[in-house]
Amino acid sequence: MSKSDAAPVPPLAAALVSSLSQIFDKEDLFTEPGDCWSYGYDNSRQHAVPQAVCFARNVDQIVKLVHLCREHRLPLITRGRGTGTTGATVPINGGIVLSMERLRTRLEIDPANRIAFVSPGYTNQELQDAARQHGFFWPPDPTSAAVCTIGGNLAYNSAGPRAVKYGTPRENTLGLRAVTGAGDVLKTGVSTTKGVVGYDLTRLLIGSEGTLAIITEATLKLTPIAESKRTLQAIYRDMHSAAAAVSRIMAQPVIPCALEFMDGTAIEMVRNFSDLGLPAEAGALLMIEVDGTHAGLGDAVDRISTAANGDGCIEIDVANSDEDVARLWRTRKALSPALRNVAPKKINEDVVVPVSRIPDLISGLEGLAKQYGVTIVNFGHAGNGNIHVNLLVDPDDPQQMAAAEPCLNDVFDLVLSLDGSLSGEHGIGLVKRTFVDRELDATSLQLMSAVKRQFDPDGILNPGVGFPDA
**CATH number where 299 lies:** 3.30.70.2190
For 123, 138, 171, the CA distances from 116, given in Å and listed in that order, are 13, 9, 14
Q: Among 45, 74, 99, give the residue marking a domain's end.
A: 99
Question: What is the model's pLDDT at position 207?
Answer: 97
Average pLDDT over residues 223-248: 95
Does 5 have pLDDT greater than 60?
A: no
Does 34 have pLDDT greater than 80?
A: yes
Residues 294 and 352 occupy one common structural domain: no
CATH number at residue 77: 3.30.43.10
Does 154 have pLDDT greater than 60?
A: yes
Rounded CA gap, 444 and 450, in Å?
Answer: 10
Average pLDDT over residues 396-415: 92
Q: Among 58, 80, 99, give the residue marking a domain's end.
A: 99
Question: What is the model's pLDDT at position 94?
Answer: 94
CATH number at residue 406: 3.30.70.2740
> Is 344 strand, coil or helix?
coil
Q: How many domains does the chain have?
A: 4
Q: Average model confidence (pLDDT) for the chain?
A: 94
In a domain, 41, yes or no: yes
Residues 64 and 83 occupy one common structural domain: yes
Rounded CA gap, 300 and 255, in Å?
Answer: 9
Residues 94 and 33 occupy one common structural domain: yes
Can you list the positions of beta strands (E) in 268-354?
A: 284-292, 313-318, 347-352
Report the range of poorest mean pLDDT among 166-170, 324-328, 410-414: 324-328
Residues 356 and 426 occupy one common structural domain: yes
Residues 11 and 91 occupy one common structural domain: yes
Question: What is the model's pLDDT at position 4?
Answer: 41
CB atoms within 10 A of CB 115: 23
Question: What is the model's pLDDT at position 343?
Answer: 79
Residues 242 and 199 occupy one common structural domain: no
Q: Among 206, 224, 242, give the residue marking a domain's end.
A: 224
Domain containing residue 177: 107-224
274: pLDDT confidence band, cut at 50, 70 and 90? confident
Predicted confidence (pLDDT) per residue in 305-338, tens digit: 999 999 999 999 999 999 999 999 888 888 888 8
Residues 201 and 285 occupy one common structural domain: no
Q: How big is the CA angle at 79 (ends 450 and 437), to the nearest 5 degrees?
A: 35
Residues 313 and 266 occupy one common structural domain: yes
In a domain, 466, yes or no: no
Residues 357 and 449 occupy one common structural domain: yes
DSSP code per residue over 404-456: HHHHHHHHHHHHHHTT-BS-SSS--TTTSGGGHHHHS-HHHHHHHHHHHHHH-
Residue 462's Cβ-side half-sphere holds a number of Cα atoms within 13 Å equal to 27
Check if the beta carbon of residue 379 is closer than 8 Å to that of residue 351.
Answer: no
In a domain, 243, yes or no: yes
Can you list the positions of beta strands (E) in 181-319?
A: 185-189, 213-221, 223-224, 228-236, 258-263, 284-292, 313-318
Does 451 have pLDDT greater than 90?
A: yes
If we measure between CA atoms, which residue out of 138, 312, 181, 292 comes closest to residue 240?
Answer: 312
Residues 285 and 210 occupy one common structural domain: no
Report the range of poorest mean pLDDT among 46-50, 174-178, 219-223, 273-277: 273-277
Residues 235 and 266 occupy one common structural domain: yes
Check if the beta carbon of residue 272 is closer than 8 Å to that of residue 338.
Answer: yes
Predicted confidence (pLDDT) per residue in 60-116, tens digit: 999 999 999 999 999 999 999 999 999 999 999 999 999 999 999 999 999 999 999
If we measure between CA atoms, which residue out of 145, 147, 141 comes closest to residue 164?
Answer: 141
Question: What is the model's pLDDT at position 6?
Answer: 59
Question: What is the model's pLDDT at position 459?
Answer: 97
Does 7 have pLDDT greater than 70?
A: no
Predicted confidence (pLDDT) per residue in 330-372, tens digit: 888 888 888 878 877 788 899 999 999 998 999 999 999 999 9
In a domain, 38, yes or no: yes
1: pLDDT confidence band, cut at 50, 70 and 90? very low
Does 24 have pLDDT greater than 70?
A: yes
Residues 73 and 131 occupy one common structural domain: no
In a domain, 333, yes or no: no
Q: Kindly state the greatest CA–CA separation across the chain.
A: 71
Average pLDDT over residues 277-289: 93
In a domain, 280, yes or no: yes
Question: What is the model's pLDDT at position 346?
Answer: 85
CATH number at residue 180: 3.30.465.10
Report the range of poorest mean pLDDT among 2-6, 340-344, 419-423, 460-464: 2-6
Q: Which residues pair with 45 in a beta bridge?
A: none
In a domain, 465, yes or no: no
Rounded CA gap, 23 and 272, in Å?
Answer: 54
In a domain, 11, yes or no: yes
